[in-house]
Chains A and B, each alone.
Chain A
Amino acid sequence: MSRIELRVNGRDVEVEADGRTLLTHALRDHLRLTGTHIGCDTSQCGSCTVHVDGKAVKSCTMLAVQAAGCDILTIEGLANGRELHPMQAAFNDFHGLQCGFCTPGMIMMAVDIVNRHGRPDEATVRAELEGNLCRCTGYHNIIKAVCAGAERMGEVA
């Protein structure tokens, strides 16, 4: 067991976990932040995507101990209080989710795409989302939502 200090959604927290504990389990099981989902065991679905020090990371690819001292942002920390992040609002406006299971990972990835590309075109968004699986939407409305969210993030910034 080791004691791991991290910053999660702007709060300093401590997690007591096995060396083999994945970041995704530390978030879900230890910190009870269950918005980060687990959809696979081969690091391919993207449901578990969070931001680590400002970059999108599949939290099942990282050990909790590796995240020691890092600044983690999960879906629960994305909104500003009751005010939705523009990307969250765009997913609602464009029906970018059905069952909602892939959605937290999609939104965290989408924000990362915009952080890196500014206002990406549709082809860029499609290519960038290749590592996030959705079984419900056929992706079309997700793509629309990400493009619209990018535009709104640009307006806010």
Chain B
Amino acid sequence: MNETVSNGKFGQSVKRVEDARLITGRGRFVDDLVFPGQTHAAFVRSPYAHAAIAGIDLESARNMPGVIRIFTGRELADAGLPPLPSGWNLSSVDGTPARVGLHHALAVDAIRFVGEPVALVIAETRDQARDAADAVLVEYQELPTVVDLAAAIADGAPQLHDGIAQNRAFEWEIGGSAEVDAAFAAATRRVTLSLRNNRLIPNAIEPRAINVQWSAFDQAMTIYLTHQNPIGMRGFFAIMLGLPSENNLRVVSPDVGGGFGSKAPAYAEEFAVAFAAKMLDRPVKWTAERSESFLTDAHGRDHLTTAELAMDDDGRFLGLRVHTLANLGAYISTSNALVVSYMYATMLSGQYAIPAIHARVEGVYTNTCPVDAYRGAGRPEAAYLIERLANIAAREIGVDQAEIRRRNFIRQFPYQTPLIYCYDSGDYEGCLDAALGLADYPGFAARKAESQARGKLRGIGLSAYVEACGIGPSKLLASLGGGGAMWESCEIRVQPGGSIEVLTGAHNHGQGHQTVYAQIVSERFGVPMDSINVVQGDTNRIQAGTGTYGSRASVGLSAAVHSCDKIVAKGRAIVAHMLEVDLADVVFADGIYSSAASNRTVTFVEMAQAAHGAASFPTDQIEPGLVATSFFDPPNFTYPAGVHVCEVEIDPETGVVEVVAFNAADDFGNVANPLIVEGQVHGGVTQGIAQALWENALYDPDNAQLMTASYMDYGMPRADSLPEFGLCFWPSPTPVNPLGMKGCGEAGAIGAPPAVINAVCDALGMDHIDMPASPEKIWQLCRTREVS
């Protein structure tokens, strides 16, 4: 157990300070808030996946008890609500911009996926709003649907958007195709792989929620929103809602009940509710029901990929060629053009020195929920592909799965891949050995024999992943089509009494920011953690920020370090005057300023009091007060990496795959709080195993109905699904930020799926099986194996 420490230290397992309110029921989530004059919203949603809207009859719904107003898409559009913005400008290989299908907050003429909102009912109570929503009569003219990626780009496929032939939004490429052709010509061995990366539904347990107050008097809006990037959302919302400026808008995210990427986009429903609140001049609240979350929270993954890997006779990788159809869903969500391109294909080199790589990605519209970032966002898809190929290559060459990796590992850092990115640091082979040690790799044969004696099939699978985190260098990202602005800010205010406020634009939704920021500031100032208050998620308090996603806590924490440095430095100047010594002689350690030239010392708190008192130093040379703000824009991504080892046992009688052991050695660089980081790995690995074995968002191929739209049908991991994991850290600190941290939030979801499927394929002696490795699928395979 970890003891409480009053002074935080970087690297210690400090218990979380945010827990106190959350374990006593005093957490504050958006749905907990009620304002005077509160109204409630409910959406009318399309039961069809593709239809023209022929008419909407609001008559009977309008007369229902408590109904205040009902909005249609046409009405909101006429009143000036523009279509949703796409957050990334991706260009096709021919230089043309992505073909963006217009996405209205409420459908105007047509709907393109099941659950798309068609009308918005505002009523005095939640039940009244829902009752009235049920009474809205929409006349739909059904249109043919398409779900399957290959079918969507075929001639004659149902077309979702006017003027976008074959539903192709973009054809994007990266890498050198001529170099890859040459590599294949020179290669003596090659393997190929076709795979589907299954669609997932993020399922943060707190559903999406918003509560909006509008004050017509001062033209000011306050939006309470459960979101991963409340500070960054301010600009988006201000433009969408036609507010005179960002100054007319305050965005607040209180406690956020999980996100995993799904609370990072700008959503249709939230814009509609905010716009309605402005038109009504009363607060409007909407909280999604879980069924709505299944249908409309941005989904994840959904790739159809073919790949070829060229090798020499020893299994050295020479070239990689990849073609991916990426399912965008019915519209391009906020970040999806980025996720399927620069978050995915740039990572196809994996941990390996592959001299030539070329990837082509086609973004395709289908009659499904829009896809966006989900834990890992592009990087899991890349790791899954290359790690599956590595195992197929090992089978082809006839070497062990660890050995094929050793032969191809990158060994020198920084390493420039052929795909833009430059890896910062790493020790891939050290990590591999650490993971194999944890997993008792040499003992596997005996365990397999023991399983066999019980009629079970046992398999072991490795995956060696690398990902790009700490997003990111603003200039690089702007050059790739983003809007830049990927820094993070941190302001530190030392109050006259010595207590400290830390304000950052990153936003906690489970990561323990309140603890880790306080740990770092406590150590730097030598003050107790309970004198530090970390403030997040309120644009009235925090000037600037870009949010929490993509394992980027290191960016905001680095800004905190820089602000701490500025405060400490100013303190030295003040103390030089207080002690009447030379500035150069003042040192600061463990919360105490001292100087060899004086036998007096000054504590941090005394210095703070003096800074505010402004009586012990010349204020024409040193400004009074003690506040520092820093913006940290990382010079590069960080590249966390690791090796995960999964062991499964398959019951051929039932097809059930049981994960019997899971071990991971991860390089997250320096680790701020091992207790919290291990928790992140637990959660990530669990989601990764779940993708490989259970989770699968399934649309009916005939009518595009979502068939996995509740916890009865969607395979969520549960408490009884998994064994305990064995974890260790194998850090190669990054040089790209002052803390040497790389990030850890997504690693598990990236490393685990290929480790699991590699283990399943090992157990069955097969090249490939698509995720999820469901009992039915495995049972069928076992049967055909027996027969053959």
**Which A residues are within 8 Å of any B CB, using their own CB?**
18, 20, 28, 32-42, 44-45, 47, 74-76, 78-79, 84, 88, 91-95, 97-104, 107, 125-127, 129-130, 132-143, 148
CB pair B29–A130 under 8 Å, yes or no, is no
List chain B residues, Cβ under 8 A from A134: 205, 719
Alpha-carbon distance A45/B289, docked complex (angstroms):
12
Please provide the chain B residues from 661 to 699 with a CB less than 8 Å away from any CB of chain A in the complex: 675-676, 678-680, 682-687
Residue from A18, A45, A107 within 8 A of B290 (CB atoms): A45
Alpha-carbon distance A78/B257, docked complex (angstroms):
21
CB pair A92–B290 under 8 Å, yes or no, is no
List chain A residues, Cβ under 8 A from B403: none
Alpha-carbon distance A39/B512, docked complex (angstroms):
21
CB pair A42–B290 under 8 Å, yes or no, is yes
A-B contact pairs, 20 of them (CB 8 A): A18-B127, A28-B31, A35-B26, A35-B27, A38-B31, A44-B712, A75-B25, A79-B24, A84-B24, A92-B15, A92-B20, A93-B2, A97-B22, A99-B255, A100-B19, A103-B23, A135-B204, A135-B258, A138-B683, A140-B722
CB pair B711–A42 under 8 Å, yes or no, is yes
- Which residue of the partner chain A has the closest CB to B19? A92
Known: A20-B127, A42-B711, A99-B509. A126 touches B719 (CB 8 A): yes
Residue from A35, A93, A130 within 8 A of B24 (CB atoms): A35
Alpha-carbon distance A137/B289, docked complex (angstroms):
22
Question: Does B510 count as interface, using CB distance less than 8 angstroms?
Answer: yes
CB pair B25–A33 under 8 Å, yes or no, is yes
List chain A residues, Cβ under 8 A from B684: 138
| Other A-B pairs, 17, CB within 8 Å; known A37-B29, A40-B711, A75-B23 | A35-B27, A37-B205, A41-B290, A76-B25, A84-B23, A84-B24, A88-B24, A91-B19, A92-B15, A92-B20, A97-B22, A101-B205, A104-B23, A104-B25, A133-B718, A136-B205, A139-B686
Known: A92-B16, A136-B510. A130 touches B258 (CB 8 A): no
Question: Does B439 count as interface, using CB distance less than 8 angstroms?
Answer: no
- Which residue of the partner chain A has the closest CB to B724? A140
List chain B residues, Cβ under 8 A from A142: 719
Chain A min CB distance to B756 (Å): 14
Chain B min CB distance to A125 (Å): 7
Chain A min CB distance to B8 (Å): 16
CB pair A138–B685 under 8 Å, yes or no, is yes
List chain A residues, Cβ under 8 A from B716: 133, 135
Alpha-carbon distance A125/B206, docked complex (angstroms):
23
- Annotate B116-143 by CB proximity to A: 1 below 8 A, 0 otherwise: 0000000000010000000000000000
List chain B residues, Cβ under 8 A from A93: 1-2, 15
Alpha-carbon distance A93/B1, docked complex (angstroms):
7
CB pair A140–B682 under 8 Å, yes or no, is yes
List chain A residues, Cβ under 8 A from B509: 99
Known: A42-B712, A98-B510, A99-B255. A137 touches B683 (CB 8 A): yes
B contact residues, range: 35 or more
Question: Does B710 count as interface, using CB distance less than 8 angstroms?
Answer: yes
- Annotate B8-37 by CB proximity to A: 1 below 8 A, 0 otherwise: 000000011011111111111101101000
Residue from B22, B255, B290, B682 within 8 A of A141 (CB atoms): B682
Alpha-carbon distance A63/B512, docked complex (angstroms):
36
Residue from B19, B22, B205, B748 within 8 A of A133 (CB atoms): B205
CB pair B719–A129 under 8 Å, yes or no, is yes
List chain A residues, Cβ under 8 A from B682: 137-141
Chain B CB within 10 Å — which of A40, A44, A84, A137 has the most?
A: A40
Alpha-carbon distance A140/B287, docked complex (angstroms):
29
Alpha-carbon distance A143/B255, docked complex (angstroms):
24
List chain B residues, Cβ under 8 A from A138: 682-687, 717, 722, 725, 748
Alpha-carbon distance A36/B512, docked complex (angstroms):
21
Residue from A40, A88, A101, A129 within 8 A of B257 (CB atoms): A101
Chain B min CB distance to A68 (Å): 20
- Annotate B196-213 by CB proximity to A: 1 below 8 A, 0 otherwise: 000000111111000000
Chain B min CB distance to A37 (Å): 7
CB pair B127–A91 under 8 Å, yes or no, is no
Chain B CB within 10 Å — which of A44, A88, A103, A135 has the most?
A: A135
Please provide the chain B residues from 274 to 311 with a CB less than 8 Å away from any CB of chain A in the complex: 287, 289-291
List chain A residues, Cβ under 8 A from B260: 135
List chain A residues, Cβ under 8 A from B710: 40, 42, 44
Known: A125-B719, A136-B510. A99 touches B206 (CB 8 A): yes
CB pair A99–B675 under 8 Å, yes or no, is no
Alpha-carbon distance A141/B710, docked complex (angstroms):
26
List chain A residues, Cβ under 8 A from B711: 40, 42, 44-45, 133
Alpha-carbon distance A39/B716, docked complex (angstroms):
13
Alpha-carbon distance A148/B22, docked complex (angstroms):
19
Alpha-carbon distance A18/B510, docked complex (angstroms):
36
CB pair A97–B712 under 8 Å, yes or no, is no
> Ordered nearest first, which 9 A-B pairs have the shortest CB separation?
A35-B25, A101-B257, A100-B22, A138-B686, A99-B510, A98-B510, A138-B682, A75-B25, A34-B32
Alpha-carbon distance A121/B710, docked complex (angstroms):
30
Alpha-carbon distance A37/B30, docked complex (angstroms):
11
CB pair B290–A100 under 8 Å, yes or no, is no
CB pair B24–A143 under 8 Å, yes or no, is no
Question: Does B94 count as interface, using CB distance less than 8 angstroms?
Answer: no
Question: Does B345 count as interface, using CB distance less than 8 angstroms?
Answer: no
List chain B residues, Cβ under 8 A from A37: 29, 205-206, 257
Alpha-carbon distance A133/B204, docked complex (angstroms):
10
Residue from A107, A132, A135 within 8 A of B719 (CB atoms): A132
List chain B residues, Cβ under 8 A from A97: 19, 22-23
CB pair B511–A98 under 8 Å, yes or no, is yes
- Which residue of the partner chain A has the closest CB to B17? A92
CB pair A100–B31 under 8 Å, yes or no, is no
List chain B residues, Cβ under 8 A from A133: 205, 711, 716, 718
Question: Does B720 count as interface, using CB distance less than 8 angstroms?
Answer: yes
Alpha-carbon distance A101/B290, docked complex (angstroms):
14
List chain A residues, Cβ under 8 A from B21: 100
Question: Does B256 count as interface, using CB distance less than 8 angstroms?
Answer: yes
List chain A residues, Cβ under 8 A from B679: 95, 98, 136-137, 141
- Annotate B84-121 by CB proximity to A: 1 below 8 A, 0 otherwise: 00000000000000000000000000000000000000
Alpha-carbon distance A148/B748, docked complex (angstroms):
26
Known: A74-B25, A141-B679. A99 touches B205 (CB 8 A): yes
List chain B residues, Cβ under 8 A from A38: 31, 207, 287
Alpha-carbon distance A28/B711, docked complex (angstroms):
23
List chain A residues, Cβ under 8 A from B2: 93
List chain A residues, Cβ under 8 A from B722: 138-140
Alpha-carbon distance A18/B131, docked complex (angstroms):
14
Alpha-carbon distance A92/B291, docked complex (angstroms):
31
Chain A min CB distance to B118 (Å): 20
Residue from A32, A79, A92, A135 within 8 A of B205 (CB atoms): A135
- Which residue of the partner chain A has the closest CB to B716? A133
Chain A CB within 10 Å — which of B291, B675, B718 has the most?
A: B718
CB pair A41–B205 under 8 Å, yes or no, is no
Chain B CB within 10 Å — which of A18, A28, A99 has the most?
A: A99
Chain B CB within 10 Å — which of A32, A47, A95, A103 has the most?
A: A95
List chain A residues, Cβ under 8 A from B24: 35, 75-76, 78-79, 84, 88
- Which residue of the partner chain B has the closest CB to A141? B679
